[in-house]
Structure 1
């Protein structure tokens, strides 16, 4: 994918790296970026050679949300514009959340609005210390999209979600980590190294088992205990037939498992 594409897509050694690439516009989401993100998400979901996906932003911001300049240009047609925007963005979020491989979001700078949604969907969310997090929608008279209203209560509870959403509280990286909104915060200069360590660990792990675990965790909020345990039984049975064989054999042979074979 060319260097001026709205989303850069790199795939090497089982790792797909998606980079939001509108740095001069704060990586805000316009129609080309939304559609490119959807295409990249589908590619990640479909390619079995991809073992882990990384999402980050180019430049000094992760994603400042929607392209407000574009909203202004749309004028009376903003309602139509938002439907065109949310369709590919929501498709991308759904594919990245449901794919059977882990997602690491690397937050290199501020994440606001829909950018917050994209940041929070990672299984592991690593943020630079300079990163800031803001719901932002209410400040311009809008309501959440990108799954923000789904992520927040699940991650930090309803009371804190209400505070962030209705009072537009802005969080530092440290505050976001303390609340459980993100996984961890690191010094800016250590962000790339820390992300690479996590990606290396995940890419060497049992991808199918992790994918099934992702799905189990996502379904746990809506299932009864008995329903969830039935899904667990089916998932572990499947896993025992593929990667589980290598894992058990490696344990008995006292060696490190090779799940990449």
Structure 2
């Protein structure tokens, strides 16, 4: 992979790279390995910008979100948070609207597939970021937790919704209120992971999936993401209407017309995302 972000002599808080094998795949890597990628203001601001950058880049057709070192992300850096509380507890949580919400919204609504490569601990907002992605590949020894109640808080980063939608309200309450950690094996059993693999295979497995997705009908993927988000919270009639409108939009794309002709000609379709 080739790094296309960061000034010489400065270690970027988030690395933004293109996959050397498939340049249509962008890799965003949280880059505080010595602190298990705990979220400082610098890292959060960099991630807001990086998510927006790849989301708007038409040359990017799939994204991998990863963590450097031995952890994916352990959530908010509590040392920095403690300083913010001491300075002004009333404004300490402005970061939710300024950083966490744009990151999660950007990942969840990005009009291209996003794969989380979870190489280790995935806690708090880190778990929220992972669940905002479309697919998750995790190390077999990865550990997950919500952690918020343990410091007297409720969830952020969309976990109240993503856990309830993925696992049901009862298990979401259990995980958020008791804060008990769970393993990659359990996460896979619950359907949260596409795969649990040895730690040294996480990034390669995530990249392989992202490359496959990047070669696919990315315009259709964007509509599928939106349709599932709508269908998860909407009445049947609204869901049917949204599906119909999306079908109509996709029906006039080159991808659809070309795929139909390829099918009739017993050929493999080629998708351009338009």
Q: TM-score, normalized by length of structure 2?
A: 0.91
- Verify the 8 A CA contact 2:55 2:110 in the aligned structure 1: yes
Distance 1:254 1:211 in 2: 26
| Residues 1:22 and 2:32 aligned together | yes
| Residues 1:250 and 2:257 aligned together | no
Residue 187 of structure 1 aligns with which residue? 198
Give the alignment of 1:19-98 within 5 angstroms. 19-74=29-84, 75-98=86-109
Q: TM-score, normalized by length of structure 1?
A: 0.95
Instruction: Return 5+ residue gaps in structure 1 as ranges.
Output: none
1:6 positional shift: 0.8
- Verify the 8 A CA contact 2:141 2:184 in the aligned structure 1: yes
Residue 171 of structure 1 aligns with which residue? 182
- Verify the 8 A CA contact 1:212 1:235 in the aligned structure 2: yes
Residue 171 of structure 2 aligns with which residue? 160
1:76 positional shift: 4.3
- Verify the 8 A CA contact 1:30 1:85 in the aligned structure 2: no
- Verify the 8 A CA contact 1:62 1:111 in the aligned structure 2: yes
Query: Aligned-pair RMSD on alpha carbons?
Result: 1.5
Partner deviation per Cα, 1:92-121 (whole Å, 9 max, x = no partner):
211221121111011000011101101111
After TM superposition, where is structure 1 displaced by more than 6 Å over at least 4 residues in a row? Answer: none
1:159 positional shift: 0.9
- Of residues 231, 247, 250 in structure 2, which corresponds to 1:236? 247
Moved more, 71-80 or 248-257: 71-80
| Residues 1:201 and 2:212 aligned together | yes
Distance 2:235 2:96 in 1: 35
Distance 2:233 2:159 in 1: 18
| Residues 1:11 and 2:21 aligned together | no
Structure number having the greater helix percentage: 1
Distance 2:232 2:173 in 1: 19
- Verify the 8 A CA contact 2:113 2:210 in the aligned structure 1: no
1:260 positional shift: 3.1
Distance 2:97 2:194 in 1: 26
Distance 1:197 1:156 in 2: 27
Distance 2:201 2:15 in 1: 22
Distance 2:268 2:114 in 1: 23
